[in-house]
Copies of this chain bind each other. A is one copy, B any other.
Amino acid sequence: MWSKAPVTLAFLQINRNRKLLMPEARYDVIGIGSAIVDILARTNDDFINAHGMVKGTMALCTAEQSKLIYDRMGKAVEISGGSAANSMAGIASLGGNPAFIGKVGKDHLGEVFAHDIKVGGVEFLGSLGTKPTATCHILVTPDGQRTMNTFLGACTEMGPEDIDEKKVADAHVLYIEGYQWDTPQAKAAIRKATKASKGAGRQVALSLSDPFVVERHRGDLLGLIKDEIDILFGNEDEIFRLYEAGDLATAVERLRGAKVLAVMTRGAKGAVVFDGQTTAAVDAAPVEKVVDTTGAGDLFAAGFLFGFTHGRPLLSCARIGSMAAAEVISHMGARPEVPLRDLLVKQGL
């Protein structure tokens, strides 16, 4: 078990000088996650229901199920995705210095993933698996909501041998996807990475990823959060399910025991940050039209962690998160279309 960051009101107070208090690091954030290429198509609610999908969630698929969905779905767009990878791309777009660990196949989509992550300014510490590159068939309904069907492929081959401990130790924050709990070997990789990060006095962040991930791995996740996580990202549904809470007050009470800095996104209602003592809310950044919510949580985390690793006050971190999320939901695809750095400057954040 590793020491946890002092998550008290002091957290907020020292915040302005956080950058100064942190030992130097090569990376702002290092993310571990599934290296996925998204295949997005617009659809309607009937298609979602007819195929037994649960709107707004992620389901795991076999290669055959994936093919079936592809054959039935409409004209698609292929864009690099993957939750943690999207977050790292967002941090790079904001001007930060992230790295990403993930596994792709020796195929066209693997090249696409590697290209996009590198040119986006993320150091790609990935390796090649023997299975095909993971794909996520994403159906976007007219309300902008996304429903995901993931074939993990080469991602299931990620294990401890993919973790370069020195590089993990050289990042201010280690960022982990909850999705990794669905691939058994990945857990060993995460344990190794967490140990390296904690050993270097760094902080570990976890994104809960999906309500069904929370349901499938609740016990595991609660233990991990209690023992090793410093910063927890999740939406309202995920955090409420994790702590079996029916309202914000109950959730906050249970988060207090977990001693984490919790960042809860609430869609159009904005976000709530809880530092163990105080809760503070920020509004969602205005969006002209919600086109596709894919990547909203990933980009919120990106903005927050960019601010966090650049010494910004927590509320400012959350505002940068809101801004990044607003950009990504205004178009198809889970990575920013314009340099977020420009928006940051333009909006005076």
Chain A interface (Cβ < 8 Å from any Cβ of B): 42, 70-71, 73-80, 89, 107-109, 112, 115-116, 119-120, 331-333, 335, 337-338
Contact = CB atoms under 8 A, between A and B. Distances in A.
A74 B337 CA distance: 10
Given A77-B79, A78-B79, A120-B75, A42 B337 contact: yes
Contacts of A332: 331-332, 337
A112 B335 contact: no
Contact of A80 (B75, B89, B109): B75
Contacts of A79: 77-78
A255 to B, nearest CB: 35
Number of copies: 2
A206 B332 CA distance: 33
Contacts of A80: 75
Given A42-B337, A107-B108, A115 B76 contact: yes
B109 A89 contact: no
A42 B116 CA distance: 12
A297 to B, nearest CB: 19
Contacts of A76: 112, 115-116
A270 to B, nearest CB: 26
Given A75-B119, A77-B77, 12 more contacts: A70-B115, A75-B89, A75-B115, A75-B116, A75-B335, A77-B78, A77-B79, A78-B78, A78-B79, A107-B108, A331-B331, A332-B332
B77 A119 contact: no
| Residue among A71, A75, A79, A333 with most chain B CB within 10 A | A75
Nearest to A339: B42
Contacts of A75: 80, 89, 115-116, 119-120, 335
A56 to B, nearest CB: 21
A337 B77 CA distance: 10
Contacts of A333: 77
A207 to B, nearest CB: 21
Contacts of A74: 119-120
5 contacts: A42-B338, A78-B78, A108-B108, A331-B331, A331-B332
Given A42-B338, A332-B331, A337-B332, A73 B119 contact: yes
Contacts of A73: 119
A310 B191 CA distance: 64
A117 to B, nearest CB: 8
| Residue among A42, A107, A108 with most chain B CB within 10 A | A108
Contacts of A70: 115
A108 B108 CA distance: 7
Contact of A78 (B107, B112, B331): B112
Contacts of A337: 42, 332
Nearest to A288: B288
A55 B194 CA distance: 49
A310 B86 CA distance: 45
Nearest to A116: B75
A335 B74 CA distance: 12
Contacts of A115: 70-71, 75-76
Contacts of A119: 73-75
